């Protein structure tokens, strides 16, 4: 069969890599063999909220998988304390080595035994991978050595190589490098692919350290969360997003993430607060008790910064909403509803007394206008965000590795919800120039507009529209990432009546236990009802008997409260969903004590596993999205071979 001109152009490009029948045929054989390997293990985590110590430990211990491998190998051979020591060495090789040396426990025999045990764990973790995948996980400077030592088959010739290599390691002082290299290999091989189901950012101290780790991870994707999207909008220089980020940081007295993590100075805000609110007790703006630790004097200063930032936020949001009547959020513009003489505010046709009404920077005649000092502060802070190289790099990573949702291996991953109307139908998302954008089409359009907010030319109308929409995604009533009718921030600050604090969840959450709704959502995204929806955003109240498994087993909510603030509500400290070739299991974690305790006392995160689904047969790469992509490559290579044999293309090499 002859090929079209377009097909021939593609085959000519393919020929540059596979220049002969033999090369193309060898690659087909290799790919067909890969299809028969077991599926790699996927790990799903959500709602990290800046809790870097707990998350990084889960990454190091593969949510308990590495300790399971050690128990499989040495459960009947080593006492528990030796298994724990080996596990801790794998998690923190540099730090544990230094401690063991200080304790005088490291000698030549210890090196021999430890390196041998680590090789056995590496072999167990690498059994399902191709040799090339395993080599990718090896430290570059030790590839040849580790490769040969790993695949020693016990023959006298190979045994001689192994013993000679081991002696050389000891003679040349390479023991530490080999232990560290093998430990990092085990960490890399224990998790094949990592899925983060949103909310890396928020109240926790160092989301930047989480982002650093994700950038280094070999295969990771992110489904954006409502807190992530606001940071992304701030990096895109949306003023409303910038001040929402700042308000959240000062609310929890967590200035580290901005000032230490991203080098963004809040000194201009401090000067504004000291100038305008020096005599204001700012009682409603004191830092949250579940935030960072502050003394009374620091707390008062942070409270003044908090109020100054919140007023800026309300002004900028009011300006934004005036530009976008299609958002249907005009009820959130409240500054012009205040009677500044009486100290009251009109909301929903009712008048409420305000707890305080001291607004020295607001002009009642033009309440949404920034005064001269506020404008200067806003401009200087925007420059800080624009010139934070680390923040810009991290946000570019979120755009390249992330999306609003992901269909992967038959499962649907998203952070918040699929917005629904009260009758259960898909709700329209107010996407610019896309009327009635509902369901998958609406979320695809939202994804494109979010990217426009960062990548369109700065200063262009397209950039402004996208910047504003990034803010909407963080708190809009039809946002798939937010899922509530409003964010009652103003009311919580200034009004005592609890009725004004209510935030109503989208109909989606009322229907979370409805299997028919879950099936309809899966089908909307082109997936089978045999798949799962994997969701985060709303903490599961395990302590009150709530189950993370909903909708007849179709929906898995994996926000278990990694953030310390949510742990009293959830009763646990996070979930990891693990999808291996054999099972889909949910791992509930207990709180992480500290890195120091993990290293010195071998204290691991205690976890409890429960099986969600046992696979009818062991899943192979052929059963995955990767397998379908490989099948496509095989088909292309067979076409190339056909073109060689028919004479349509000539081989480049013999």
Output the 3-class SS for 294-362.
Answer: CCHHHHHHHHHHHHHHHHHHHHHHHHHHHHCHHHCCHHHCCHHHEECCCCEEEECCEEEEECCCCCCCC
Residue 412: CB atoms within 10 Å: 25
Q: Which residues contact 351 (CB under 8 A, 6 or more apart)?
A: 344, 345
- CA gap 133, 648 in Å, rounded: 35
Q: 291: pLDDT confidence band, cut at 50, 70 and 90?
A: low
Within-domain flag for 236 = yes
If pLDDT is split at 50, 70 and 90, which confidence band does 295 have? low
Backbone angles phi, psi at 426, to 5 degrees: -65, 135
Token readout for 566 is 């949510």
Torsion of CA 419, 420, 421, 427, to 10 degrees: 50
- pLDDT at position 501: 95
The average pLDDT across 372-392 equals 97
Query: What mean pLDDT is predicted for residues 345-360?
Result: 94
pLDDT at 576: 92
Evaluate whether residue 556 is within a structural domain: no
From 490, 523, 548, the end of a domain falls on 490
Plot region of 349 (φ>0 → left; ψ -120 to 50 → alpha; else → beta):
left
The C-alpha R_g of the chain, in whole angstroms, comes to 28
pLDDT for 154 equals 61
The pLDDT value given to residue 561: 78
Q: Could you say which of 490, 505, 539 is where a domain stops?
A: 490
For residues 606 and 572, the answer to whether their CB atoms sit within 8 Å is no
Task: Please check whether residues 483 and 631 belong to one and the same domain.
Answer: no
Q: In whole angstroms, give the CA distance from residue 601 to residue 325.
A: 58
Return the pLDDT at 297: 62
Query: Strand pairing partners for 437?
Result: 429
Among 432, 456, 490, which residue terminates a domain? Answer: 490
> Measured between alpha carbons, how far apart are the two ends of the chain, in Å?
24
The per-residue pLDDT for range 387-419, each reduced to its tens digit, is 999 999 999 999 999 999 999 999 999 999 999
Do 291 and 436 fall into the same domain? yes
Mean predicted confidence (pLDDT) in 189-211 = 94
Tell me if 458 is assigned to some domain. yes
CA–CA distance, 40 with 57 (Å, rounded to integer) = 21
User: Which of 3-7, 187-191, 403-407 bottoms out in mean pLDDT, i.e. has the lowest?
Assistant: 3-7
pLDDT of residue 1: 62
Q: Mean pLDDT of all residues in the chain?
A: 92
Can you list the alpha helix ranges (DSSP code H) found in 402-501?
439-455, 461-475, 489-494
Res 641: pLDDT: 95
> Would you put residue 460 in left (φ > 0), alpha (ψ -120 to 50) or beta?
beta
More confident residue, 604 or 20: 20
Asked if the model's pLDDT at residue 437 lies above 90, the reply is: no
Instruction: Please give the pLDDT value at position 200.
Output: 96
Could you give the number of structural domains in the chain? Answer: 2
Give pLDDT, residue 149.
82
In a domain, 350, yes or no: yes
Whether residues 486 and 631 fall in one domain:
no
Range of the domain at 638: 5-37+623-646
Residue 152: per-residue pLDDT: 66
Cα separation, 651 vs 16, whole angstroms: 10
Is 583 contained in some domain? no
Indicate whether 277 belongs to any domain: yes
| Residue 653 pLDDT greater than 80, yes or no | no
Q: Is residue 382 situated within a structural domain?
A: yes
Residue 96 lies in a domain: no
């Amino acid at each position: 069969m002859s090929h079209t001109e377009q097909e021939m152009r593609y085959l000519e490009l393919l020929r540059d890599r596979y220049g002969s029948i033999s090369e193309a045929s060898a690659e087909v054989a290799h790919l067909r063999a890969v299809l028969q390997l077991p599926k790699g293990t996927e790990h799903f985590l959500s709602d990290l909220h800046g809790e870097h110590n707990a998350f990084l430990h889960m990454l190091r211990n593969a949510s308990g998988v590495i300790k399971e491998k050690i128990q499989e190998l040495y459960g009947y051979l080593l006492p528990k304390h030796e298994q724990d020591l080996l596990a801790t060495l794998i998690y923190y090789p540099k730090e544990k080595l230094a401690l063991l040396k200080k304790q005088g426990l490291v000698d030549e025999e210890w090196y021999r035994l430890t390196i041998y045990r680590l090789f056995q764990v590496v072999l167990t973790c690498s059994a399902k991978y191709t040799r090339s995948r395993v080599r990718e996980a090896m430290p570059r400077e030790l590839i040849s050595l580790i490769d040969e030592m790993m695949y020693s088959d016990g023959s006298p010739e190979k045994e001689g190589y192994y013993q000679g290599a081991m002696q050389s390691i000891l003679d040349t002082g390479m023991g530490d490098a080999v232990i560290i290299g093998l430990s990092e290999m085990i960490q890399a091989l224990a998790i094949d692919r990592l899925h983060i189901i949103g909310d890396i950012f928020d109240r926790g101290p160092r989301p930047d350290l989480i982002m650093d780790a994700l950038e280094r991870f070999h295969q990771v994707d992110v489904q954006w969360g409502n807190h992530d999207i606001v940071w992304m909008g701030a990096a895109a220089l949306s003023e409303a997003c910038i001040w929402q980020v700042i308000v959240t940081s000062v609310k929890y007295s967590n200035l580290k993430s901005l000032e230490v993590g991203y080098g963004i100075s809040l000194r201009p805000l401090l000067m504004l607060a000291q100038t305008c609110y020096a005599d204001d007790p700012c009682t409603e703006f004191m830092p949250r008790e579940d935030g960072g630790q502050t003394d009374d004097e620091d707390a008062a200063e942070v409270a003044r910064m908090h109020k100054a930032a919140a007023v800026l936020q309300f002004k900028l949001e009011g300006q934004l909403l005036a530009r976008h009547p299609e958002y249907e959020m005009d009820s959130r513009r409240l500054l012009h509803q205040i009677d500044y003489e009486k100290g009251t505010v009109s909301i929903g046709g009712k008048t409420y007394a305000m707890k305080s009404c001291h607004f020295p920077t607001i002009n009642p005649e033009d309440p949404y206008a920034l005064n001269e000092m506020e404008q200067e502060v806003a401009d200087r802070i925007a420059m800080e965000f624009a010139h934070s190289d680390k923040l810009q790099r991290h946000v570019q990573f979120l755009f390249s590795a992330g999306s609003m949702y992901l269909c992967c291996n038959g499962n649907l991953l998203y952070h918040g919800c699929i917005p629904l109307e009260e009758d259960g139908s898909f709700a329209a998302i107010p996407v610019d120039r896309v009327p009635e954008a509902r369901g998958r089409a609406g979320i695809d359009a939202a994804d494109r507009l979010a990217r426009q907010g960062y990548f369109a030319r700065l200063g262009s109308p397209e950039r402004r529209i996208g910047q504003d929409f990034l803010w909407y995604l963080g708190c809009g009533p039809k946002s798939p990432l937010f899922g509530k009718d409003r964010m009652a921030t103003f009311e919580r600050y200034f009004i005592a009546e609890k009725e004004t604090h209510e935030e109503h969840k989208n109909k989606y959450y009322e229907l979370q236990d409805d299997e028919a709704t879950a099936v309809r959502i899966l089908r909307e995204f082109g997936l089978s009802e045999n798949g799962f929806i994997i969701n985060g955003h709303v903490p599961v109240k395990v302590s009150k008997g709530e189950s993370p498994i909903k909708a007849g087993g179709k929906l898995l909510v994996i926000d278990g409260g990694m953030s310390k603030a949510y742990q009293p509500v959830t009763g646990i400290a996070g979930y990891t969903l693990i999808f291996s070739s054999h099972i889909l299991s949910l791992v509930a974690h207990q709180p992480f004590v500290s890195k120091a305790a993990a290293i010195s006392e071998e204290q691991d995160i205690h976890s409890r596993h429960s099986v969600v689904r046992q696979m009818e047969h062991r899943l192979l790469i052929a059963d995955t999205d990767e397998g379908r992509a490989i099948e496509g490559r095989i088909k292309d290579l067979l076409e190339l071979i056909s073109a060689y044999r028919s004479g349509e293309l000539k081989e480049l090499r013999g």
